Structure 1
Amino acid sequence: MSTLGHVRTELEAGAPNAVSRMLGLLGDEWNLLIVQQSLLGATRFGEYLARLPISNAVLTTRLRGLTGEAMLEQREYQVNPPRTEYLLTPRGRALWPMMLLIWDWERRWVPDHVAQLPAMRHDTCGALFTPLLTCGACTAPSTDTDVKLRWGPSGSWERSTPITVTRRRGGATGPPGLYPETMSVFGNRWSAAILIAAFLGASRFGDFQRQLGAPPASVSARLRAFVANGVLSGSDEYLLTDKGRAFFGVLVTALEWGQHWFHAPEGPAVVLTHRACGERFTARVACDQCAKALSGDDVLVETVTT
């Protein structure tokens, strides 16, 4: 079995940075949904097809891409005829904090969708819980107003433009799984980039278009969608709403994932500082019932009953 998913990717100096690589991989609806289902136990081609409204061709392309990026690895489970399954690598499994915070955001901010979401139980304390984003240095609960973001040595919008090697969503035959509103917010590379730009202070159309270098039509369409779903407010000036600000935990864990697994020789693309303690901010996701840090192995998914 490959060891690529156990080690970080070393980027070239001056090349697209960790933000660019993260946006290209996670700013894709199908990649997010495949990782989601992998974390929920899917490993085989037929299982993904049964769980997702995805065509054979699109699934084949995305599985190939995720394997090439060392987020999944193939293992043969049958010789005659040959059959393979797709297993999460440590790189892929490390996305569980982001996916857990997506679940919590959907549950809190998409009321029409709550009944479809499973409950989460913390195996350590036995309680149903809500994940809390806390500072890894001082363990204090943290929101976007508690964390300062600035560009680091490898950070700039020129180097952060999302790179993608797959076409946009195609071949869908139904609703996109457990996190439909997240897919409209984050499951598109330009949507994800615009949201990061908003947290970095952009608020006007010209700011977004100039900083991202995105096609004006794409920026306009994404801003309209964000206003329609309540993530941004305004028309001349686009400001994050409470709903939009609540997505900060998802973004910061995605950024940390990208910067851990894609290393630029100059240093990080984005530097995060916890204002209260003054230390470099690292995301610690904790149980709101016992305050202990969560791990992927001690989060249990409860069966949804109707």
Structure 2
Amino acid sequence: MGDQWTLLVLRESFYGTRRFDAFQGALGIARNTLTERLDRLTGAGLLTRVRYQERPTRYEYVLTDMGRDFFPVLAAIIRWGDQWLGDGPGVPLLLRHRGCGHATTAVVSCGECGGELTAAGVVVEPGPGMPADERARLAGT
């Protein structure tokens, strides 16, 4: 995905930010850097540009289905940061589940049994789409 700016632009998108000036104001990012990140995210299919003004032409940047599907990744990063980087009186951001109303954190779980996935509890093995050279490299580790 790139660098920290890419994740921060996505985070702002999940907050509801859609316009260039709003991204820039929220992030304090240089215009050329923001332009590059928005182009990268639209090119990758996570955001789409939607024109909202004709003269001058202006666009909003809206999360696509692919972009919205990135939310669990961002939630996991938030959880990790809260656990390992927090130094204040509490977490800076709460994720409240609309379904039950509780503040929650991300948990990565097995799609079959629902058990939590951890590095110690998972074996990595080649899948059917892995190229042969990568398959050989993974087998050698």
Aligned partner of 1:56: which letter?
A: R
Compared CA separation, residues 114 and 53, structure 1 to 2 (3 A): farther
- For structure 2, list consecutive stretches of 5 or more residues without a partner in the other structure: none
CA contact (8 A) 2:107 2:116 kept: yes
- Find the counterpart in structure 2 of residue 100 from structure 1: 75
**1:106-117 to 2 correspondences below 5 Å:** 106-112=81-87, 115=90, 117=92
CA contact (8 A) 2:72 2:106 kept: no
Name whichever of 144-153 and 54-63 sits farther off. 144-153
- Find the counterpart in structure 1 of residue 24 from structure 2: 49
Aligned partner of 2:107: which letter?
A: L
CA contact (8 A) 1:76 1:84 kept: yes
Structure 1 CA distance, aligned partners of 2:22 and 2:89?
24
- Find the counterpart in structure 2 of residue 66 from structure 1: 41
Aligned length: 137
**1:130-279 to 2 correspondences below 5 Å:** 130-155=105-130
CA contact (8 A) 1:107 1:113 kept: no
Q: Which has the higher contact order (CA 8 A, sep 6+)?
A: 1
SS in structure 2 of the partner of residue 84 of structure 1: strand
- Find the counterpart in structure 2 of residue 33 from structure 1: 8
CA contact (8 A) 1:74 1:84 kept: yes
Aligned partner of 2:47: which letter?
A: L
2:104 corresponds to 1:129: yes
Question: What is the Cα deviation at residue 116 of structure 1?
Answer: 6.2
> What's the TM-score, normalizing by structure 2?
0.84
Question: What is the Cα deviation at residue 79 of structure 1?
Answer: 2.0
- Find the counterpart in structure 1 of residue 65 from structure 2: 90
Task: Give the CA RMSD over aligned residues.
Answer: 2.4
Structure 2 CA distance, aligned partners of 1:121 and 1:113?
20
Question: What is the Cα deviation at residue 80 of structure 1?
Answer: 2.9
Compared CA separation, residues 134 and 116, structure 1 to 2 (3 A): closer
Structure 1 CA distance, aligned partners of 2:45 and 2:53?
22
Identity of aligned residues (%): 35
SS in structure 1 of the partner of residue 100 of structure 2: coil
SS in structure 2 of the partner of residue 34 of structure 1: helix
Question: What is the Cα deviation at residue 113 of structure 1?
Answer: 5.6
